[in-house]
Each structure stands twice: as C-alpha cells, then as structure tokens.
Structure 1
Amino acid sequence: MKNQILIPKSSLDFLLQLKENNNKFWFEANKTNYLKELNHIETFADALLQELSKTDILETSSGKKSVYRIYRDIRFSKDKTPFKTFWGGSFTRATAARRGGYYFHLEQGNSFFAGGFWGPNAADLKRIRSEFDNDAESFRKILNSKSFINTFGTLQGEQLKTAPKDFDIHHEAIDLLRYKQFLIMKHFSDEEVLSDHFLEKALETCKNMRPFFDYMSEVLTTDVNGASVL
C-alpha cells in the first residue's frame, strides 16, 4: 500500500479556525479553504475505502459519500452553532449478513476510529445477551486477543448498574450481560494523524475490528440454535 495520501496540518487548522468563528458569515468568506480541506479528507477516505474493500464488502461507494456534511442539525439542539468542528465519516458494511460499520473522527487532540453497535434495538440486544448466556467464552477470546487489546484496549459502551431482566446478578457473564452498547475505539495523536503512515495505521485499525464484527454478525443473523434467520 502506498502511503502518499496524507492528512495535511491545514485540515486540522481549519477546524480550529472554524471553532473560533462558528458562524455562517465567516464560513462563507472561507468557503474556498473549506472545499480545499474537504477534498483532502475525501481523498484520504477514498484511499482508505479502496484498501478496506480488498478484505471487506462495503455499501459505501466513495470517499466523498463517506464523509459527513459539515452542517449541524440544530432544529432540536440547544447549541445553535451551525457547523461541526471535526471531520467525520463512516463506511457501511454491505448486506444483512455483515453487521457493524467503520467510523472515523478527525479533530485536533481528539482523533479516533471506532466501530460497533451504538444503539442496538431490543431484539438485537436480547439475541446478543442470549449468546453470552450460552457461551461467553467465544466473545471473551476476541476481547482478550493480543490484537484487540493492543488496538482498542477494552470493550466500551453504556452499561446497566445491575443485571438485565431475566438474568441473575451472579451470572458468570454478568460483566458482558450488563452492556447496552458494544463499542470499540482507537485514538490517534495529532502527530500520528499527520504522519506519512496514517493511512496504513487506519487500515490496520479497521482490519482489527473484523473479528468483533464477524462475531456479532454471526450472532445477529442466527437464532440460539445457530440456524440462519436471514
């Protein structure tokens, strides 16, 4: 893989300027700079997408389509600033058999790649918990793997303070059963984001999500007996 696609410092600097001048007048006056920096981000996203597509099947068709709009939805927010102050985007995995997706967030001092299940519906959450009830070790093996720990550290996400309904507080998998979200995340320093090897590191991070995604995909596309529900 060629490491010629870089995130320039100017792309992060633009966000700082936007944060200090988060209004439509300033943005319109600096629209040319915005479009230039957006092109850098889209080019990076497209390069990552092309590499990731060699080992996964994705619905996202281009880097341009993966990058989120800079405009905030302020209709129901107390914060009325009109623009996001980060570059963000995601790659969606294709078909009902592949669950999960890759998300990236680029911002000075707060850049990360993440994936998982932010708000699983009641049926999915019930199915995941039933799997932990029957066999938690398969999932623990993924969480305890060297690549997972070195990349993501630990599983993240909101948890119940007690046991979920119909499960005993002393269940051997209570630590997993408490999760209401299943998230994995890797942070990157500004130096890493701006380095010649960031594309390579980003790709490696996404690849290291796959055992987690593949496990969840198999669970959420089968019943408790392992039969496909698709």
Structure 2
Amino acid sequence: MSFTGFPEAALDFYDDLEIDNSKYFWEQHKETYTTAVAEPMTALTEELADEFGPAKLFRPYRDVRFSKDKSPYKTHQGAFVQVAPATGYYIQIGAPGVRVAVGFYEAASDRLAAIRRAIDDDLHGPELVRIVRKLTKAGWEVDGERLKTAPRGYDVDHPRIELLRHKSLFVGKDYGFDEVIHSPALVDRVRKDWRSAKPLIEWIDRHGAV
C-alpha cells in the first residue's frame, strides 16, 4: 500500500473526537480511524523505513490509571522510529494537522548525566550548539522538559546552561493544514526534514551511551 496523503476525514475525525471523547463515538467511527488515520500513517512510515528504520505506531488508547483526565482516547496518532533509548524520529496527526519531531523525550539518570557531561565539554558542547542553531534557522522549534534552574553540579552562568537544563531535548516542526499533508509529497517533506535533523540524533546517540 503506497501513501497517497492523509484525507480530510482524518482531521475531521480528531476534531470530533476532541468534542466527544467517548467509547460510543469511537465505536461508531472506528472504521474512519482505521482507513483515514492508521492505514495512511502505516503506509507513510513504511515508505520512510528504507532510510530511517521501521516505525512503531502508538496505541490510540490513553493510560488513565494515574491521570485526573479519564478521556479514554488520544486526540492524535503518533508514530516513532527509535534509534537509541527514547531517541529517534516522530510524526503525528491530530486536529491541528501534522507535526514532526526529532530528538529524545526522556533519559535515565545515567544517560542524562552522560549527555550533560558532553554539553559541558568544550569540544562536544559547542558542536551541539551549532547543530541546534542551524536547525532553528531552518524553522525547527526547540522543545523538551527543562529544569527551572541549573542541574546539580553546574553553574547558572555556564555558557550552555539552557541546553544543560534540558531533561529531554527535541526539535519540532508543524505542517499544520498545508496541502502537502493530503498528498504523496508528504513522504518527501518528512524525509527531507528528518534527514536535516539527523545530526541531532547522531550527537545524542554518540554522547548518551553509558
């Protein structure tokens, strides 16, 4: 099955799900989810697998065990290509359209410590600064969970304190409702953007090993 684009029905499905996040709605529209969301996302990631590797499609069901919000269904569909622990390439579709991201979304304490040591290093740290700067100039937004102050052992006046504060670090780009998301050309757009952010993945993978 080749990717032909996400149909408008995918966006409509998530618009409606945000209003009625119920089992009844889901069961009445499960076929739409399958044909307009899950199948196109599978086709898209399969066409990218030759370069980036196979993707995992996340389950559409929320884990509500420890959440005050008991809404049973996610209001977006994500897919993730893992390159290293919690590190890789991501794409999702939801009511706001399509979004891509690249980086790491969490790290065990020893791995995070290794990444911070590399950021602190006067050779490897500036390399990451250059990578992030280049990506932001290309339209990526830097995101991730951050400490409000300096991590233990690092000075608040450290020249790379903003990067050291990150507990997770990724860059994201919104395609929104751009017409490309409804066409086969989305494959090439995602491929180009993921490829441009590959240096970030390589840096994290190289310096996050423990």
TM-score (norm 2): 0.84
CA shift, 1:115, in A, is 2.4
- The match for 2:160 is 173
Q: Does 1:116 align with 2:103?
A: yes
Deviation, 1:70, is: 1.8
Q: Which structure 2 residues correspond to residues 1-230 of structure 1 after superposition, within 5 A?
A: 5-38=4-37, 41-51=38-48, 53-56=49-52, 58=53, 60=55, 66-93=56-83, 100-135=87-122, 136-145=125-134, 147=135, 149-153=137-141, 155-192=142-179, 193-221=181-209
TM-score normalised by the chain length of structure 1 = 0.78
- The 8 Å contact of residues 152 and 184 in structure 1, kept in 2 or not, is answered as yes
Unaligned 5+ segments in structure 2 are none
Q: Provide the aligned C-alpha RMSD in A.
A: 2.4
Separation (CA, whole Å) in 2 of partners of 1:196 and 1:47 = 9
> Which amino acid is the alignment partner of residue 202 of structure 1?
V
Instruction: State whether residues 9 and 32 of structure 2, in contact with CA within 8 Å, keep that contact through their aligned partners in structure 1.
Output: no
Give the aligned residue type for 1:54: D
Q: 1 or 2, which has the higher strand percentage? A: 2
Distance 1:31 1:162 in 2: 45
Q: Which amino acid aligns with 2:149?
A: T
SS of 1:7's partner is coil
What 5-or-longer segments of structure 1 have no aligned partner? Answer: 61-65, 222-228
Any runs of at least 4 consecutive aligned residues in structure 1 with deviations exceeding 4 A, and if so which?
Answer: none
Question: What do residues 158-180 of structure 1 show as CA deviations (whole Å, max 9, x unaligned)?
Answer: 32233221222222222322222
Q: Which 10-residue stretch deviates more, 179-188 or 191-200?
A: 191-200
Q: 1 CA distance for matches of 2:156 and 2:6? A: 48
